[in-house]
Amino acid sequence: MPEIPDLEAIRAFLNERIIGVEVTRAETAIPYIFRTPAKDVAAGLTGNRFGEVLRRGKFLLFTLADEYVLVINPMLSGRFQYVRPGTKKRAKTCLLLALDNGWELRYADERLMGKIYYAHIDDVPHVPQFSEMGPDALAVSEEEFRARIRKHSGAIKNVLTNLKFVAGIGNAYADEILFEARINPFRRRTSLSDGEVGALYRAIGTTLRRSLPVLREHFREELDYEEWRDHLKVHRKGGEKAGRCPRCGTRITEIAPNQRITSWCRVCQPDAAA
């Protein structure tokens, strides 16, 4: 799932290349994924010019010259491509935009769980999930973070990935943030001390910001986005060929209830009873 560091890297890459660029042709191959009728999206984009690409939580917002916005929520498997026209298309390419600078911007979605909207800038707040979203994880102040977290209970990892609490953290970076903060992912939110809540807040900024330059390194000439997870310290480092905790050397523990992988260090992130 693309999370804040992935989307920020994609956004920065595109902002260096597509601002002011015109869409000469729009192909909407898989209408299912369009929450605004695909033909309206194609008609609106053709001949239009891109403004800045923005991000809010896990949404990318492609602003356009006429105050409309192409809003993409890539969910689990949405992938962006910025390539030359001859480049092989990914399976399930839903949207292909030919640009007047000689490149193509594409969106593919293997599991077709993503959502594409096309809305006037004034209507973007009505896009589903937008109004429910908490503040962006990179923008929330510590004071607001502390106030909001009191309203959420349950396992702390589930709180972190709940977009109503803060937006932009998914399964992978939640594991990294909890490792950084030395908090067990299954601890109840209500069991966290004030000091631990502060450590958690700081770990969000540290972990996400540390990843940004790493991801940007992968996108130089073109963007053909796969998930870059090699730089993570614990997430998916467990399992059969378990890696070791970079802090204490203990083997990383990993479980996958409901096919959602959680990885942590039992020593650095003890459970509440320990």
Which residue numbers are catalytic?
2-3, 58, 260
Residue 163: which H helix or E strand, with range? Answer: none
CB 170 within 8 A of CB 204: no
Using an 8 Å Cβ cutoff, are 196 and 181 in contact?
yes
In this structure, the number of other CB atoms found within 10 A of the CB of residue 227 comes to 13
In sequence order, the β-bridge partners of residue 26 are 97
247 in contact with Zn ion (CB under 5 A) = yes
Closer to Zn ion at the Cβ: 35 or 236?
236
Q: Extract the tokens encoding 35.
A: 């929450």
Phi, psi at 169, each rounded to 5°: -100, 130
Report the C-alpha gap between 21 and 152 in whole angstroms. Answer: 43
Per-residue binding string, Zn ion, 90-119, x by CB under 5 A, is ------------------------------
The nearer residue to Zn ion, 203 or 265, going by C-beta atoms, is 265
- Least distance from C-beta 215 to Zn ion, angstroms? 25
Q: How far is 212 from 5, CA to CA, in rounded Å?
A: 5
Site string for Zn ion, 251-270 (x = CB under 5 A): --------------x-xx--
- The distance of closest approach from Cβ of residue 181 to Zn ion in the complex, given in angstroms and rounded to an integer, is 13
Q: How far apart are the first and last CA of the chain?
A: 32
The SS3 assignment for 60 reads strand
Q: How far is the CB of 4 from Zn ion (least distance, A)?
A: 24
Nearest residue (CB) to Zn ion, 156 versus 268: 268
Distance, in Å, from the CA atom of 167 to the CA atom of 147, rounded to the nearest integer, reads 15
- Beta carbon nearer to Zn ion, 169 or 245: 245
CB nearer to Zn ion: pick between 109 and 180: 180
Residues 49-68 that bind Zn ion (CB under 5 A): none
Per-position x/- string for 227-246, each x denoting binding to Zn ion as judged by CB under 5 A, each - no binding: ------------------x-
Q: Are 41 and 96 in contact (CB under 8 A)?
A: no
The single residue among 65, 147, 248, 256 that binds Zn ion, judged by CB under 5 A, is 248
Among candidate residues 1, 3, 6, 2, the one with its CA nearest the CA of residue 216? 6
Q: Which is nearer to Zn ion, 11 or 157 (CB)?
A: 157
Q: How far is the CB of 159 from Zn ion (least distance, A)?
A: 22
Closest separation in Å from C-beta 180 to Zn ion: 12
Residue with the CB atom nearest Zn ion in the bound state: 245
Tokens at 269, concatenated: 């992130």
Q: Tell me the C-alpha distance between 258 and 163, whole Å.
A: 19
Q: Which residues bind Zn ion (CB under 5 A)?
A: 245, 247-248, 250, 265, 267-268
